[in-house]
């Protein structure tokens, strides 16, 4: 196997992209699930506020999603730019 510098860099970039997106998906997934869980609880207790609670849940989830999107951006950069 003729391994050269460019090849090693590419291989490392691919591995890095996979690990970045994989690990980066754990936190947002769990966090957004917690937000959804609390929204369900709150709607169960106070169904009249369902609209407000859903909106708050979505805003909160959008914020926690951001780190997942950072990971995606880094993964795509590693795949296509580096």
19 binds other proteins (CB under 8 A): yes
The token pair that represents 35 in the structure block: 């937000």
Q: How far is the CB of 77 from other proteins (least distance, A)?
A: 11
Q: In 3-state terms, what secondary structure has residue 82?
A: coil
- Dihedral, CA atoms, 78, 28, 26, 74, nearest 10 degrees? 10
Alpha helix (H) residue ranges in the chain: 5-45, 50-80
DSSP at 49: G
Q: How far is the CB of 10 from other proteins (least distance, A)?
A: 4
30 binds other proteins (CB under 8 A): yes
| Selected binder of other proteins within 29, 52, 63, 82 (CB under 8 A) | 29
Q: In 3-state terms, what secondary structure has residue 48?
A: helix
* Interacting residue ranges for other proteins, rule: CB under 8 A: 1-3, 7-8, 10-12, 14-19, 21-41, 43-45, 47, 50, 53-54, 57-58, 61-62, 65, 68-69, 71-72, 75-76, 79-80
């Amino acid at each position: 196997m003729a391994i050269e510098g460019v090849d090693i860099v590419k291989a490392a970039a691919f591995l890095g992209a996979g690990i970045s997106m994989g690990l980066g998906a754990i936190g947002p997934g769990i966090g957004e699930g917690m937000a959804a869980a609390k929204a369900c609880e709150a709607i169960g207790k106070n169904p009249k506020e369902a609209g407000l609670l859903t909106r708050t849940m979505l805003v909160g989830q959008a914020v926690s999603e951001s780190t997942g999107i950072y990971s995606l951006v880094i993964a795509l950069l590693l795949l296509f730019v580096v």
